[in-house]
Chains A and B, each alone.
Chain A
Amino acid sequence: MSPIISERAGAGAGADCAVSTHGLTKRYDRDVALDSVDLRVPDCAVYILLGANGAGKSTALKLLMNLEPASGGTARVFGLDAAQHGPEVRAQTGYVPERHDAGYTWMTCGQLLRHASVYYPAWDHAYAARLSDALELKLERKLGRLSKGDTRRVQLTLALAHRPPLLLLDEPTDGLDPVVRKRVLALLAEHLADRPTTVLITTHHVHEVESLADHIGVLRAGRLVAQMARDELQRTVQRYRIELPDGWEAPRDLVVAASRSSRATREVQWTVVGDEREVTDRLTTAGARVRDVSSLPLEEAALALLPVETSR
């Protein structure tokens, strides 16, 4: 499938983008984890980077943080080259890593928060206290003895409490129970209301974060196959109910992401990627009758762009 990258989001060199990458590539020996990726995360967007496990989502965030060197291409965060200005980029970023491992295993949670508060000039003590209340942090407990979910809560507090202009959240709700998950997302919504913030969230659970999203990118085996604004995605991936004449064959290059059909009624339902008028015209010209076209909820539209076997 050829990539569907929005011209609106991809226009120019990404001057008004908080995060932009050009041909960003990462190879581990012979494996290509990221293959010439051009991310464009507009300023103050909530951008969901979607992909199956191993699609390259975490690698992308690590390269943005300059925690690993890129094999090719560049990454810019607020105009700074991440490879040249790693510390400056990290100082402006709240990062929740993929791994549930906050380091400093001998410290208690409370000690780690005090430790972090000294490192970030913008650390908001009142907000940190509010977050640690809302997330019920076990302040007296040593980090090495925390469960996966409890570590996640600490990582989220560390990422948010210095109110950085950029949040890079790698599966932020991983390991959290459903109640806490919802609370975290509500806190994130409040956070965005209080301070303009650009957020890049990676996930394979799009339904959890879709209501916050205004931009979507889809990674497939290291390649960015889609990148666009939310409303554009819903206009580009639509469901068509079609009546087919006997022995009909679909136009060859039609991108059908999902299909259901019933032989008995000669009716098929296709999720097709493309401009509605163009798709309808082509189907009609080919002799099919388009009964109706409907938009999909964001999650379904996004999942249609993932390979079938990993779309859940």
Chain B
Amino acid sequence: MLVNLDASDARPLYLQIMDEVRRALVVGTLKPEDPVPSVRELAAELVVNPRTVLQAYRELEHEGVLYVRRGQGTFVAPDVQPSSGEQRALALGVARRALLEARRNGLGAEELVTMIRELAAHEGEPASPTPVATGGTNA
């Protein structure tokens, strides 16, 4: 699992770490029952306070994404469903940032969604067979 933090991102570091773990699950570089780096390793690698890593792991544990095997470390939960839960959480984050950026530019949600669809069609992406972030999102 490769974790990247962005110093220019104003989001708290533990949230960034949580999203990176989710991303690794969604793209498949991290699978159920895989070990994640120890708090010490990840803190040293990212040069962050170990308490920040611990906070991210605890939140993910609370959400059922990770679990601790006593004396062995922290692992991805066996029943984690990246294609539903994690993907949705990631999509929500991306959508929230996009919406904020749209509003900053004086655009509404509908204009943004329409433009994303057009752009995706133009770039040849097939329509999603299982829409994940739709339903009741009319602005």
Contact = CB atoms under 8 A, between A and B. Distances in A.
Given A292-B103, A292-B104, A189 B7 contact: no
B49 A213 contact: yes
Contact of A210 (B7, B12, B45, B46): B7
B44 interface: yes
A296 B52 CA distance: 18
Given A186-B45, A193-B43, A211 B103 contact: no
Interface residues of A, number: 27
Contact of A193 (B9, B10, B39): B39
A46 B9 contact: no
Given A210-B7, A297-B9, A299-B7, A193 B50 contact: yes
A211 B7 contact: yes
Nearest to A194: B40
A234 B48 contact: no
Given A190-B40, A193-B39, A211-B5, A46 B49 contact: yes
B103 A189 contact: no
Contacts of A90: none
Nearest to B106: A291
Contacts of B43: 189-190, 192-193
Say whether chain B's binding surface is mostly helix, strand, loop, or mixed. helix
29 contacts: A46-B49, A182-B47, A186-B44, A186-B45, A187-B44, A189-B43, A189-B44, A189-B46, A190-B40, A190-B43, A192-B51, A193-B39, A194-B40, A210-B7, A211-B7, A211-B13, A211-B46, A212-B48, A212-B49, A214-B49, A234-B10, A291-B104, A295-B10, A295-B11, A297-B7, A297-B8, A297-B9, A297-B10, A299-B7
A182 B48 CA distance: 11
A189 B48 contact: yes
Say whether chain A's binding surface is mostly helix, strand, loop, or mixed. helix
Contacts of B119: none
Interface string A143-187: 000000000000000000000000000000000000000100111
Listed from nearest, the 5 A-B pairs whose CB atoms lie closest are A295-B10, A193-B40, A193-B50, A189-B43, A186-B44
Contacts of B39: 193
A186 B7 contact: no
B43 to A, nearest CB: 4
Contacts, number: 62
Given A241-B104, A292-B100, A185 B8 contact: no
A194 B12 CA distance: 23
Interface of A: 44, 46, 182, 185-187, 189-190, 192-194, 207, 210-214, 231, 234, 241, 291-292, 294-297, 299
Give the contact-size bracket for chain B.
Answer: 20 to 34
B12 to A, nearest CB: 6
Interface in B1-37: 5, 7-13
Contacts of B49: 46, 189, 192, 211-214
Given A292-B103, A297-B9, A185 B50 contact: no
Contacts of B52: 214
A296 B9 CA distance: 8
A211 B104 contact: no
Given A210-B7, A294-B10, A185 B47 contact: yes
Contacts of B10: 234, 294-297
B126 to A, nearest CB: 35
A187 B40 CA distance: 10
Contacts of B9: 297
Nearest to A199: B49
Given A186-B44, A207-B7, A192 B50 contact: yes
Nearest to B12: A231
Contact of A212 (B5, B47, B100): B47
Contact of B44 (A44, A190, A207, A297): A190
Nearest to A182: B47
